[in-house]
Amino acid sequence: MADLEIRDLHVEADGTELLHGVDLDLDKGTTLALMGPNGSGKSTLAYSIAGHPAYDITKGTITWKGEPIQELLPDERARLGVFLAMQYPVEVPGVSLTNFLRTAVNAVNEEDVPVREFMTRLRSEMSQLGVDESFLQRSVNEGFSGGEKKRFEILQAALLRPELAVLDETDSGLDVDALKIVAEGVNRLKGPDLGVLIITHYTRILRYIQPDQVHVMFEGRIVASGGPELADELEEHGYENIKDLKASV
Give me the CATH number covering residue 66: 3.40.50.300
Which domain does 66 fall in, by range?
4-94+164-248
Does 110 map to a domain?
Answer: no
Q: How far apart are CA 83 and CA 167, in angstroms?
A: 8
Total number of residues shown for the chain: 249
pLDDT value at position 246? 53
| Count helices and strands in the chain by DSSP H and E runs | 8, 12
Q: How far apart are CA 65 and CA 77, in angstroms?
A: 11
**Which of 116-131 are b and which e, b meaning 16 or more Cβ less than 10 Å from the residue's Cβ?**
eebeeebeebbebbbb
Does 168 map to a domain?
Answer: yes
pLDDT value at position 243? 58
CA angle 135, 139, 143 (to 5 degrees): 80
Q: How far apart are CA 154 and CA 186, in angstroms?
A: 7
pLDDT value at position 59? 97
pLDDT value at position 12? 97
Does 199 map to a domain?
Answer: yes
Does 111 map to a domain?
Answer: no
pLDDT value at position 64? 97
pLDDT value at position 57? 97
Does 87 map to a domain?
Answer: yes
List alpha helices for the chain, DSSP H. Answer: 42-50, 74-79, 97-109, 115-128, 146-160, 176-189, 228-237, 242-248
For 21, phi then psi, to 5°, come to: 100, 65
Rg value, the chain, Cα: 18
Tally of domains within the chain:
1
Q: With beta carbons less than 8 A apart as the criterion, state whether 52 and 74 touch.
A: yes
Does 129 map to a domain?
Answer: no
Amino acid occupying residue 179: L
Does 99 map to a domain?
Answer: no
Per-residue pLDDT of the chain (249 residues; tens, 9 = 90+): 899 999 999 999 999 999 999 999 999 999 999 999 888 999 999 999 999 999 999 999 999 999 999 999 999 999 999 999 988 888 999 999 999 999 999 998 888 999 999 999 999 999 988 888 888 889 999 998 888 898 899 999 999 999 999 999 988 878 888 899 889 999 999 999 999 999 998 888 999 999 999 999 999 999 999 999 998 888 887 777 765 655 444
Q: How far apart are CA 30 and CA 81, in angstroms?
A: 15
pLDDT value at position 18? 97
Does 30 map to a domain?
Answer: yes
Q: Could you tell me the pTM of the whole model? A: 0.92
**Which of 14-45 are b and which e, b meaning 16 or more Cβ less than 10 Å from the residue's Cβ?**
eeebbbeebebbbebebbbbbbbeeebbbbbb
